[in-house]
Chains A and B, each alone.
Chain A
Amino acid sequence: MNASQTARFSGAALLLTAGWLGGALAAQSDTKTALDPRTMMTGQWNRYPEMGEQPNPKFPPPAAIPPPPLKPQFQAEYDARRKAVTDAEAKGQPLYTNYTACLPDGMPAMMMGMFPMEVLQTPGQITIIQEAYNQVRRIYMNDELPAPEDAEPLFWGHSSGKWEGDTLVVETIGIKTSVRFRDAPHGIQMRIHERLRLLSPDMMEDQVTVTDPEFLTGPWSFKYMYKRMHGYKINEYVCEANREMFDPETGGVKLRLGK
């Protein structure tokens, strides 16, 4: 490369860099900071796309969650439960669920909970708050998880996080067997493996893989996506006045009327 070629190359490189920087800055102008996942996951996030929202072509929405790859011996019970739910809906007598009884939906459902969620990044810990039912999960960075049989069963379990480049990788164990995601049964060996990353300053995804050698034939994978909410304040949510009662006649929900 002679001097003039070098100059031309440097000029082109400079223009390319300037162009890239310009684009990057324009993309980030709404947050005015560099794309640093170690601080920028902090904030308020809404499910993406929201109900009725036209998705942004730049961010194709996640595929529908597939059914759990259950071992054959658990399939019949699962199918029966799903059929009961569908039949009850068709009859206008929806089944009573733990959620209707004001119990939180736990992991991994709370990561695509009904309402917005908040991520707080602090030294050694990432805290995720789901507005619905005031659900809180704490992810301890580089923490040693107990053996599954020693993990106290909880709604949100025990989570350890670590960074792999720009991706937050979280392992979760110790979910109560009564906390059923999409009616799928699970055992104490269940692990929830998550890979969270920012797609842009205002978009985030969580690639979730559930494994359970006792109940599943293989990994159960799906993706959640989130869009940042600017200036949103998470609402308080205490399930204090539930009027949805269990109706012993139908096994469904009955609304308690007031006077």
Chain B
Amino acid sequence: MKTKHARAVAGALIAGLAGLAFAAAAFAHHSFAMFDHDHQVKLNGTVKGFQWTNPHVYIEMEGRNAKDEKSEAQHYTIECASPGILNRVGWKFNMIKPGDVITVIIAPLRSGEPGGLLKQVTLADGRKFGNGGPAGQPNID
């Protein structure tokens, strides 16, 4: 019985994962599994570039980990959703410019490279923007 039950649970888990994979494919240009959504990082820094393009918008920034005083500044590439998704949640193509000082919360790349998926950006004027539904919410302050 136990084995049967374990098998049923495993089956349900696999079906669930398969469903998730379809959901990810249906909502995004690519799966977000390459980002670590459980260990989010907050970065402070200066914008070096803002690329407003499909399939994704990118923020290039010189940033450091806001929660680690010993962290050193380095270049980060932050992937955002697409212009369409961002327009629908209130962004504007010109709201971020090189030189702006911003704070971002990201799901870092699992590869350990300096980049990640945006969860939330706080602009110099204090306004906060999410990255649309499919990218998910920040889980840290």
A: residues with CB less than 8 A from B are 50-52, 64-65, 82, 85-86, 88-95, 97, 99-100, 102, 109, 112, 114-115, 131-132, 182, 235, 237-244, 252-255, 257-259
In the complex, which of the residues A90, A114, A240, A242 contacts B28, with contact meaning CB atoms closer than 8 Å? A114
Are B84 and A115 in contact, CB atoms less than 8 angstroms apart? yes
Answer whether residue B110 sits at the interface, using C-beta atoms and an 8 A cutoff. Answer: yes
Partner of B53 from A92, A97, A132, A241 at Cβ < 8 Å: A241
- In the bound complex, do residue B30 and residue A94 qualify as a contact, i.e. CB atoms below 8 Å apart? yes
Whether A92 and B17, one on each chain, are in contact in the complex, defined by CB atoms closer than 8 angstroms, is no
* A252 shortest CB reach to chain B, Å: 7
The residues of A that contact B9 with a CB separation of less than 8 Å are none
Q: Number of contacting residues on B, CB 8 A? A: 43
Within 8 Å CB of A182, what residues of B? Answer: 22
- Interface residues, chain B, CB within 8 Å of chain A? 14, 17-22, 24-31, 33-36, 49, 51, 53-56, 58, 60, 75, 77, 79, 82-85, 87, 109-111, 113-115, 133-134
Q: How many A-B residue pairs have CB under 8 A?
A: 109
> Would you call A255 and B21 a contact (CB within 8 A)?
no
Pick the contact of B54: A51, A52, A239 (CB < 8 A): A239
Cβ-defined contact, A237 with B54, below 8 A: yes
CB atoms of A255 and B109 under 8 A apart: yes
For the complex with contacts A102-B55, A242-B55, A258-B58, 19 further pairs of A-B residues with Cβ separation under 8 Å are: A85-B21, A86-B18, A89-B31, A94-B24, A95-B31, A99-B30, A112-B26, A239-B29, A241-B54, A241-B55, A243-B79, A244-B56, A253-B30, A255-B77, A255-B115, A257-B75, A257-B114, A258-B51, A258-B60
Instruction: Verify A92–B27 contact, CB threshold 8 A.
Output: no
- Chain A residues positioned under 8 Å from B87 (CB to CB): 235
- Complex contact B17–A89 (CB within 8 A): yes
- Which single member of B21, B36, B55, B111 contacts A86 (CB below 8 Å)? B21
Of A64, A253, A254, the contact of B31 (CB 8 Å cutoff) = A253
Cα distance A20–B118 in the bound complex, in angstroms? 50
**In the bound complex, do residue A92 and residue B33 qualify as a contact, i.e. CB atoms below 8 Å apart?**
yes
B80 vs chain A, min Cβ distance (A): 12
* With A238-B54, A240-B53, A253-B34: A89-B77 Cβ-Cβ less than 8 Å: no
Most buried by B among A89, A112, A254, A255: A255
Q: A89-B33, A99-B25 are in contact. Are A50 and B133 (CB under 8 A)?
A: yes
CA separation between A240 and B55, bound complex, in Å? Answer: 7
Give chain A residues whose Cβ lies under 8 Å from the Cβ of B114. 257
Q: Are A51 and B34 in contact (CB under 8 A)?
A: no
Which residues in A have their C-beta under 8 angstroms from that of B75?
257-259
Which B residues are in CB contact (< 8 Å) with A254? 111
Specify which of A64, A65, A86, A241 is in contact with B14 (CB 8 Å cutoff).
A86
Residues of A within 8 Å of B113, CB to CB, are 255, 257
Q: A257 contacts B84, CB within 8 Å?
A: no
Say whether, besides A114-B26, A131-B84, A244-B30, A89 and B53 are in contact (CB < 8 Å). Answer: no
The list of the 8 closest CB pairs from A to B, nearest first, reads: A94-B31, A235-B84, A241-B53, A92-B110, A100-B30, A257-B77, A51-B133, A89-B33
* A257 B55 Cβ-Cβ under 8 A: no
Is B34 a contact of A64 with CB atoms below 8 Å?
no
**Distance to closest chain A CB from B69 (angstroms):** 25
B104 to A: closest C-beta gap in Å: 15
- Chain B residues, CB < 8 A from A132: 84
Q: Provide the residues of chain B in CB contact with A85, threshold 8 Å.
A: 18, 21
Smallest Cβ distance from A249 to chain B, in angstroms? 11
CB neighbours (8 Å) of B33 from chain A are: 88-94
Contact A258 B17 (CB under 8 A): no
